[in-house]
């Protein structure tokens, strides 16, 4: 895909006007967004991570998963932008690893 296309998290949101959806390795439907700390850590940097919302068959949220911090920056928007540059394939890999970890299996 070309730069600025929908192959990254932020690119997808920009092109489609909504967060991407994934089918997790558990068969569940998930959407994803980026969140950051409200306040900087002791080192003065903000952490940003992924928040996956699991949706029921009736389109109601029924749970969520959060990644570890994936980027740090001196302001929250820069940390969020760094996470937004993740390729969608990497976002899906992170989702599946979180699902496996929640189920008590080995994280790959």
Domain ranges of the chain: 9-102
Give the pLDDT confidence of 52-71 residue by residue, as tens digits: 999 998 889 999 999 999 99
With a pLDDT cut of 90, the percent of the chain lying above it is 84
Report the pLDDT averaged over residues 74-99.
97
pTM, full prediction: 0.88
Question: 36: burial class by Cβ within 10 Å (0-12, 13-18, 19+)?
Answer: buried
Judge contact between 20 and 9, C-beta under 8 A: yes
How far apart are the two ends of the chain, measured CA to CA in Å?
Answer: 26
Q: Could you tell me which residue, 88 or 108, shows the higher pLDDT?
A: 88
Residue 108 reports pLDDT greater than 60: no
């Amino acid at each position: 895909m070309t730069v600025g296309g929908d192959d990254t998290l932020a690119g997808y949101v920009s092109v489609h006007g909504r967060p991407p959806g994934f089918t997790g390795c558990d068969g569940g439907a998930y959407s994803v967004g980026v969140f950051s700390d409200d306040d900087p850590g002791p080192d003065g940097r903000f952490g940003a991570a992924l928040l996956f919302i699991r949706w029921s068959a009736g389109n109601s949220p029924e749970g969520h998963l959060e990644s570890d911090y994936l980027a740090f920056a001196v302001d929250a928007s820069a940390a969020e932008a760094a996470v937004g540059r993740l390729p969608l394939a990497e976002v899906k890999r992170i989702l599946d690893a979180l699902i496996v970890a929640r189920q008590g299996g080995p994280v790959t």
